[in-house]
Structure 1
Amino acid sequence: MLQVCPNGARDQSACPSVPISPAELAAAVREAVAAGATDVHLHPKTPEGADTLDPDCVAAAVTAVREAVPGVPVGVTTGAWAMPDPRRRVKLIRSWPVLPDHASVNWHEEGAEAVAEALLERGVGIEAGIFSGTRAASRFLASPLVDCVLRVLAEVTDTAPRTALAAARLLLGELGDALRAPILLHAEDGAAWPVFGLAAELGLDARIGLEDVLELPDGTPATTNAELVRAAHAILSASH
């Protein structure tokens, strides 16, 4: 599975092509799916470009993207930076009028299990975000929800190309072989492409997009999410 992450917490000061509005997200994801993406993880934004869990903003983003790519699963973030209070986060999720297919829950964040339970109550699949360098892996493996998630997002926080691969392997080791859910392995910035190559080598799910990296494998700036997806798809095809 190749997921596109078109925007993340970035704004257009980082890259003019980062999609902010629902219309921009829809256009970017349509192009990315045409280039080979099969799943979507997006960050709904306020009109000013800040990440948000606001019901209207989530509904607008999910609806626009879903209409642009019918049949392709669409997920959103529930990151604490969008709403630091976990109780308020749960309340917002319970008020969403339009539900995504899945949502990421970062297991190192306060209130992760309550957020995940709110999503499960509403029939939304959970992507368990397990960040390297945190206690997230052990907390997740001890959670009663460990077998209730759609997939695990193994997120390598080390952005240095020379050390990120070791961090990725360590994180995978912490998750262990008994994990039933599929693993999506990814990293950011300078580590994004090396770790993507490792995911391809190991046959794991992977993702790419302007949330994770602003450059192509050869170091040239990426102009669109679709350009990143095409490069990622070529790596996956070569690994098979």
Structure 2
Amino acid sequence: MVQVCLNGSRGAGDGARVPLTPSALAESAADAVAAGATDVHVHPKSPCGQDSLSAGVLTPVLTALRDRVRVPVGVTTGVWAEPDPAARVARIRGWTVLPDHASVNWHEPGAEEVAAALLARGVGVEAGIWSGTDGAARFAASPLGPRVLRVLAEVTDADPGSAVTTARALLAELGPAHGRPVLLHGEDGGAWPVLRLAGRLGLATRVGLEDTLFLPDGERAHSNAHLVSEALKWLPHSGTAKTV
């Protein structure tokens, strides 16, 4: 499995290549899926460019994406989109169009409540476990662990010289991860070394302009599809997601 992460926290300052509007996100997703992506992760943006969990923001993004792609589509529920856990849960309960899945960062306040609200609505949960946090320990103790769709093992170490070591340590922290599939990915300078590690381990992974703006040789990527095409060169076993 190769997930494309279309935009993340990036904005207009990161260049015209980063899709922000519903139509731009849909076009970028369609191109990335044509290049080989099998899943989509998106940060819906308000008109002022801020991540939002509002139904009024999610609905046009999800509708536009589903008009163009036939793969699962997921969204963020990060604390930056709605700092108050109770408000985050209220937003989820108010969604009129549902994503296939949503990521929940397990180190954030209210993660259990947010995940429970998603599961109650039939939305799959990607358990975001970041390196350098207590997310792995919290997830190991969570009664919701066996019910998540998969674990997103996110290596926040952007140093290409140490990101793989950090990734291996994170996987060791996760242990059996409640038997759930693990998607391993890095960001910025660590994106490509961690992606190559995921390929060697036979794990699912992701790539896209959220995680890196550059190809392995340092060239600026033209698009999410460009990144997906490059990633597939390193992922001979990308069709399956193993547990660890």
Range into which the TM-score falls when normalised by the shorter chain: over 0.9
Aligned counterpart, 1:36: 36
Name the aligned partner's letter for residue 107 of structure 1: W
Specify the SS of the correspondent of 2:226: helix
Name the aligned partner's letter for residue 235 of structure 1: W
Residues 40 and 75, structure 1, Cα contact 8 Å, conserved in 2: yes
Aligned counterpart, 1:83: 82
Aligned counterpart, 1:4: 4
Provide TM-score, normalisation by structure 2.
0.96
Structure 1's consecutive aligned runs of 4 or more residues displaced over 6 angstroms after TM superposition are none
Name the aligned partner's letter for residue 41 of structure 2: H
Q: Determine if the alignment matches structure 1 residue 121 to structure 2 residue 101.
A: no
Specify the SS of the correspondent of 1:162: coil
Aligned counterpart, 1:134: 133
How do 1:136-155 residues align onto structure 2 when only pairs under 5 Å count?
136-155=135-154
Name the aligned partner's letter for residue 157 of structure 2: D
Q: Determine if the alignment matches structure 1 residue 99 to structure 2 residue 98.
A: yes
Aligned counterpart, 2:196: 197
Residues 79 and 106, structure 1, Cα contact 8 Å, conserved in 2: yes
Specify the SS of the correspondent of 1:159: coil
- Give how far 1:138 is off: 0.3
Aligned counterpart, 1:188: 187
- Give how far 1:237 is off: 3.1
Name the aligned partner's letter for residue 18 of structure 1: V
Q: In the aligned structure 2, how far is the partner of 1:237 from the partner of 1:136?
A: 30
Residues 140 and 177, structure 2, Cα contact 8 Å, conserved in 1: no
Q: Deviations over 1:131-151 (max 9, x none)?
A: 001000000010100101000
Percent sequence identity over aligned pairs: 60
Residues 25 and 65, structure 1, Cα contact 8 Å, conserved in 2: yes
Deviating more after overlay: 10-19 vs 158-167 = 10-19
Residues 104 and 126, structure 2, Cα contact 8 Å, conserved in 1: yes
Q: In the aligned structure 1, how far is the partner of 2:126 from the partner of 2:106?
A: 10
Name the aligned partner's letter for residue 60 of structure 1: P
Aligned counterpart, 2:19: 19
How do 1:48-59 residues align onto structure 2 when only pairs under 5 Å count?
48-59=48-59
Specify the SS of the correspondent of 2:13: coil
- Give how far 1:15 is off: 2.5
Q: In the aligned structure 2, how far is the partner of 1:3 from the partner of 1:115?
A: 22
Structure 1 10/116 Cα, relative in aligned 2: closer, same or farther at 3 Å? same
Q: In the aligned structure 2, how far is the partner of 1:239 from the partner of 1:41?
A: 17
Q: Deviations over 1:136-180 (max 9, x none)?
A: 000001010010100000000110001111100000000113631
Structure 2 segments unaligned to the other structure (5+ residues): 240-244
Provide TM-score, normalisation by structure 1.
0.97
Aligned counterpart, 1:206: 205
CA-based RMSD of the aligned residues comes to 1.2
Deviating more after overlay: 7-16 vs 138-147 = 7-16
Aligned counterpart, 2:63: 63
Residues 44 and 61, structure 2, Cα contact 8 Å, conserved in 1: yes
Specify the SS of the correspondent of 2:132: coil
Q: In the aligned structure 2, how far is the partner of 1:92 from the partner of 1:171?
A: 31
- Give how far 1:239 is off: 8.4
Residues 207 and 231, structure 2, Cα contact 8 Å, conserved in 1: yes
Q: In the aligned structure 2, how far is the partner of 1:179 from the partner of 1:198?
A: 22
Q: In the aligned structure 1, how far is the partner of 2:66 from the partner of 2:215?
A: 27
Name the aligned partner's letter for residue 29 of structure 2: V
Specify the SS of the correspondent of 1:179: helix
Residues 15 and 214, structure 1, Cα contact 8 Å, conserved in 2: no
Q: In the aligned structure 2, how far is the partner of 1:193 from the partner of 1:149?
A: 26
How do 1:167-178 residues align onto structure 2 when only pairs under 5 Å count?
167-177=166-176
Q: In the aligned structure 2, how far is the partner of 1:190 from the partner of 1:88?
A: 34
